[in-house]
A and B are shown apart, each in its own frame.
Chain A
Amino acid sequence: MTEMTDAPATTPLLEARALGFHRQDEPVFGPLDFRLAAGELMLIEGDNGSGKTTLMRILTGLLRPEEGELLWRGEPLTWDRCSGEVVFLGHQLGLKAELSPRENLAFTIGLHGHRNQSDIDGALRQVGLTGYEDEPVRKLSAGQKKRVALARLLLIPAALWLLDEPYANLDRSGIELVDALLEAHIAHGGAALVTSHGAVQFHGGEPQRIRLHA
């Protein structure tokens, strides 16, 4: 595990060179070039079906890019090199419906460890789920489930956040919560990629933007 400070300042956390992807000879997106350094936020915009989720899955290392290359701290990205440093929040939240938020997060911590000075109850309080700690997740609303998944961001010690449509299903205060989480993460030297088909309010400086076309 390399500490973030070990990497030379010029090496970006994540770099894509002519990244492209096809599905049955139909181009999904690309060629894309971008560099994302620590302390930077990148927004990926595009309509439904423009390949945002596919791009996200490639960036997690779950899907192999077909064209171009992807570098993680200057070396080719493979799942074992970036595992533990990347946290991915997708459409499927990865929560067990039969377990409570507390049990779900205890499992997350069991696999990933947690940031110092973070704990499950504190994280659940921060995402506004006080009083729901021991309810089975299946009884929570879609927005509350999303908040449980967001609590994972507070706990997992990851340098890069990949958030696929983090605003979906959230109310106004939930959207503000995501923005606040992102700002704190960026301010602490983390990096984040966020896909969205809507407008994003970000107060911590102007983010980079990538537009995907269907």
Chain B
Amino acid sequence: MLDTRRPGLVHACMAVLRRDLTLAWRQRGDMMLPVLYALIVTSLFPFALGPESALLRRIAGGAVLVTVLLAMLLALDAMFRSDIEDGSLEQLMLAPQPLALMMGMKILAHWLATALPLIVIAPLLAGMLHLPGAVMPVLLAALLLATPLLSLLGGILVALTAGTRRSGMLLALMLLPLCVPVVIFAAGALAAAQEGLPWIAPIAWLGAALVLAVVLAPLACAAALRIALDS
């Protein structure tokens, strides 16, 4: 009866990743919204502040950073929404696979689909605001560490608010205090690089926080979902 072949962990992880990326690709219109938002916001800065390149150069790093993180927030509350609505999440929870690992894969897929396009256009955004070329690698490093951190922290909060309707507002309020340290360290690295000072320390802090989040956030996310659906 139970004469079966159980899939291995790697196989299951790939299944989750492949499905979520296929879904993201089928709905790539949704995927473009954060990118479009970031482009519009960045192009409005010179209009609002004046095209004076010295001023723009000074704010460029921080403006791009905040714009990218805000653009990510647009897509954040959709992270598990469709899975909860169509019952996929229940099926995932009943699968003989560790839920935390599966949630980790879902967060990774979400990051690949929403944050990676933003990182790809970040040099363009930075160029629009005259960010010095020497600071560009630091900006990319800061974004590569800050955006997955935000996805992981966001994943926990989305899971916590999974049972509630219209959780978007609550989510934004809860995420704000978690965003602040991420922005401070990322912006610190950019400011230091722009003044020609060593910038490795804040980047290392971001890296450390990311390592911690990679390990702990999927566990917290799985636990939160079990609580949220137990009602």
Spell out A's residues near B (CB within 8 Å): 1, 3-4, 60-64, 79, 83-88, 90-99, 103, 106-116, 157, 159, 188-190
Query: What DSSP secondary structure best describes chain A's contact surface?
Result: loop
Looking at B84-92, B139-147, B190-198, the stretch in contact with chain A turns out to be: B84-92
Known: A84-B95, A110-B11. 17 other contacts (CB 8 A): A4-B2, A63-B229, A83-B95, A92-B85, A94-B86, A99-B19, A107-B15, A108-B91, A110-B7, A112-B6, A112-B7, A113-B4, A113-B5, A157-B3, A159-B1, A159-B2, A188-B1
The answer to whether the Cβ of B23 comes within 8 Å of any Cβ in the partner chain is yes
Chain A residue nearest in CB terms to B19: A107
The answer to whether the Cβ of B94 comes within 8 Å of any Cβ in the partner chain is yes
Residues of A within 8 A of B88 (CB): 94-96
Cα A35 to Cα B19 with chains together (Å)? 38
11 examples of A-B residue contacts, CB within 8 angstroms: A4-B2, A62-B229, A84-B96, A88-B91, A98-B23, A107-B18, A110-B11, A110-B18, A111-B92, A112-B95, A116-B5
Report whether B87 and A62 are in contact in the complex, using a CB–CB cutoff of 8 Å: no
Report whether B7 and A109 are in contact in the complex, using a CB–CB cutoff of 8 Å: yes
The answer to whether the Cβ of B27 comes within 8 Å of any Cβ in the partner chain is yes
Count of inter-chain pairs, beta carbons less than 8 A: 117
A111's partner among B3, B12, B27 (CB-CB below 8 A) is B12
Chain A nearest CB from B55 CB (Å) reads 45
Residues of B within 8 A of A159 (CB): 1-2
Spell out B's residues near A (CB within 8 Å): 1-7, 11-12, 14-16, 18-19, 22-23, 26-27, 82, 85-88, 90-97, 102, 226, 229-231
Cα A90 to Cα B91 with chains together (Å)? 10
Residues of B within 8 A of A92 (CB): 85-87, 90
B27's partner among A62, A63, A86, A98 (CB-CB below 8 A) is A98
Q: Which 3 A-B pairs have the closest CB atoms?
A: A110-B15, A84-B96, A92-B87
B15's partner among A83, A96, A106 (CB-CB below 8 A) is A106
Cα A157 to Cα B5 with chains together (Å)? 9
Chain B residue nearest in CB terms to A104: B19
Cα A86 to Cα B27 with chains together (Å)? 32
B2's partner among A3, A79, A96, A109 (CB-CB below 8 A) is A3
Most buried by B among A88, A95, A111, A112: A111
Chain A residue nearest in CB terms to B84: A92
Chain B nearest CB from A172 CB (Å) reads 26
Cα A114 to Cα B3 with chains together (Å)? 9
Cα A92 to Cα B85 with chains together (Å)? 8
With A63-B230, A99-B19, A190-B1 known to touch, is A90 a contact of B87 (CB < 8 Å)?
yes
Cα A160 to Cα B210 with chains together (Å)? 41
Cα A6 to Cα B131 with chains together (Å)? 68
Chain A residue nearest in CB terms to B85: A92
Cα A89 to Cα B79 with chains together (Å)? 24
Chain B residue nearest in CB terms to A106: B15
Chain B nearest CB from A114 CB (Å) reads 7
Report whether A1 and B6 are in contact in the complex, using a CB–CB cutoff of 8 Å: yes
Most buried by A among B14, B23, B102: B23
